[in-house]
Amino acid sequence: MRNKTLLIAAILVIPVFSSCSPHDTGAPVPDEEDAVTDEAEPIGAVFTYNDGENQDLSVVELYLMMSSDPVNIPGCGFVKFKGAVTGRERRALFEVGGRGEIFRFGEKLGPYLVDSISADFVKLVQPGMTR
């Protein structure tokens, strides 16, 4: 019985230790020439948004389309129109400061109100301002 117990223990323990042993994965080992150094040239940003410094707050109507770049809206950060849910009650899907948010007609987005929602664009207006 004792030999049978030792055999079962060996069968359970040996694979655990053998899986921890180093083995050749076949992956190439980087040379010293391939190593990353401080001398590498920095890569510029792939895409940057405007910094919002020249944001014109006198804009009465703002149209956001899915194909347009994000807009820096005061109090919200960068806002991008991502889509719309149409039907009985329309909803606009935005990415606001990196988070997904849903807005209905008349809801406030920074200094703007959602005035119109279509499948292709959303119209935002500043209440109390006229053209």
pLDDT digits 0-9 by tens, 44-87: 544 445 454 545 556 788 999 988 889 898 888 899 999 999 88
Long-range own/partner contacts, residues 67-72 (CB < 8 A, 24 or more apart): 70/95
Q: Judge whether 69 lies within some domain.
A: yes
CA distances from 93 to 39, 52, 53, 77 (A): 44, 22, 26, 16
Residue 113: is it exposed, middle or buried by C-beta count within 10 angstroms (0-12/13-18/19+)? middle
Range of the domain at 103: 61-125
Q: Judge whether 1 lies within some domain.
A: no
Q: Is the pLDDT of residue 111 over 80?
A: yes
Mean pLDDT (the chain) is 76
CA distance 118 to 127: 20
pTM of the model: 0.56
Q: Judge whether 74 lies within some domain.
A: yes
Please state the domain count of the chain.
Answer: 1
